[in-house]
Amino acid sequence: MAIELVIGAIKAVVIVLLVLGLTTLMLWFERKGSALIQDRIGANRAAVFGLGKRLGLPNFGVINTVLADPIKMFTKEDFVPDGADRFLHGLAPFLALFPVIITFAVAPMGDILRIGKYDIDLQPANLDVAALYVLATIGIGVYGIALGGWASNNRWALLGAIRASAQMISYEIAMGLAIIAVVVTYGTLDLQQMCRAQGGVWFGFVPRWGILLQPVSFLLLLISGMAESKRVPFDLPEGESELVAGYFTEYSGGKQAVFMMTDFAEVLLVAVLITTFFFGGWQVPWLYRDGFHFPGGASWMLPNVVVALLQFVAFWVKVIILSCLQILIRWTLPRLRYDQLMRLGWKGLVPIGLLNLVVTAFIVVAAGGK
C-alpha cells in the first residue's frame, strides 16, 4: 500500500515537472521559431557569464527564454487595478492553470513498466472514464479566463473574457464530438486502452494509428483544440489590435506569467490528446511488449525497461512535434473575425462532427462492434 502511494506520487511529480519543462521549451520555440519564420534574429543576448561565447557557440536564446524572461516576469510589480475584485483577480490565473495541469494526470506515457514484482502503469492516473474526465477539466478551464477578465474592472478585459467564454464553450462542442467519435471507434473511454488498441501494423508496414481510422476527427480536434487554447487564428480573446491584451490586460508580473504558462500548457494538452487518440500514444511501430518484431520475420528482443523507456520517449517526441506544429500554424495564419470564428464553429465543425459521429457509429455497428 505504502509503496503504491510512493509510486503514484513519483508519477505525479514526473508528469508535472515534464509539463512545466516542456512549457518552457515551447516558449523558447515560440520566440526563436517565430523569429526564424519572420526572418528576424530573435532572442540572442542574455548569457551566463558569457559562457557560450567563450566556448565559441552561437547564442540560441535559451538563457533569454528559460532564465531571463521568468526572472523578469516574477520580479515585476504585481499590479491590481483600482476597483478590481482583489480575491478573484488573484485567484483567476491559477483557476486557469490548474484544470489544464490536472488533465495531464490521464496522459498515457507508456505501457507497463516492470520493476521487481511491481507492475507500474505509466499512466499517472488510470481512470476508466478518462475521456469524460478530459472534457470535464477542459470545461472548468473557462472559469479562470472569464473571471480574470471580469475581476480586472476593465472594459477591454471584460470584452476579452466574454469573447473567450463564448468561444471556448462553442468549440468545446466540436471537441466533444471529435472525442466521442474516437470513443465509439475504440469502444472505450480509457486512454490507456485506446493506446493499446492502436498497437500492431496493417499489411506489415502501416501502423494501426487512429488517424487512419478517424481522419475527420483528427482535423476537428486539432482545429477546436487550437481554438480552446486561444492560439492565433483564434486569439480573439486577446486580440491585441482591438482589445489591448484581452482578458489579461490588467495582469502583470507573476500572474501574467501564469496566464502565459496556461496558454502553452494548453498547447501541450492538445498535443497529448491528439497523440493519444490519433498517433498511437506510446506505440512505436513494430515494437511489442518483448521487443521489435519486423515484418520480414526478423526480431530484436529487448528487456522490459528498455521497451518502457522507448515508449515513454516516443510519446513525448510525438507530443513535442505536434506542439511545434501548432506553433507553426500560429505563425502562419492571420486572425479570424469574430463572426467568422462563430460560423466556423457552429456551421462548420459541429455539423461535420455530428456527421462524422453518425457515420462512425454506422460503420462500427456494421463491422459488428459492441
Partner 1 sequence: MPQPLFAFLAALAIIAAFGTILQRNLIHCVLGFALVLIDLGVLYMGLGAVTVGFLQIIVYVGAIMVLFLFVIWLLNVQADAGVRGGGLGLKLLGAIGAAALAAELFTIFFNAPKLREVRTIAPDFGSVATLARVLFSQYLVAFETTSLLLLAAIVGAIALARRLVGQTARIAPPAPRSAAAETPPRREVA
Side-by-side strand order, sheet with 291-293: 287-288, 291-293, 299-301
Which positions touch partner 1 (CB under 8 A)?
85, 88, 128-129, 132-133, 135-136, 138-140, 142-143, 146-147, 150, 158, 161-162, 165-166, 169, 172, 189
Minimum CB separation of residue 221 from partner 1 in Å reads 17
Phi and psi angles of residue 97, each rounded to the nearest 5 degrees, phi first: -75, -40
**Which of residues 9 and 169 has its CB atom nearest to partner 1 in the complex?**
169
**Which of residues 123 and 137 has its CB atom nearest to partner 1 in the complex?**
137
**Which of residues 27 and 95 has its CB atom nearest to partner 1 in the complex?**
95
CA angle 305–319–35, rounded 5-degree value: 130
Please report the DSSP string for 145-194 in residue order: HHHHHHHTT-HHHHHHHHHHHHHHHHHHHHHHHHHHHHHHHHT-S-HHHH
**Which of residues 25 and 174 has its CB atom nearest to partner 1 in the complex?**
174
Three-class SS of residue 112? strand
Minimum CB separation of residue 125 from partner 1 in Å reads 13
Minimum CB separation of residue 134 from partner 1 in Å reads 10
Minimum CB separation of residue 5 from partner 1 in Å reads 16
Minimum CB separation of residue 30 from partner 1 in Å reads 28
**Which of residues 69 and 238 has its CB atom nearest to partner 1 in the complex?**
238
CB 122 within 8 A of CB 308: yes
Minimum CB separation of residue 164 from partner 1 in Å reads 10
Instruction: Find the helix or strand (DSSP H, E) in which 292 lies.
Output: strand 291-293
**Which of residues 4 and 128 has its CB atom nearest to partner 1 in the complex?**
128
Q: How many residues does the chain have?
A: 370
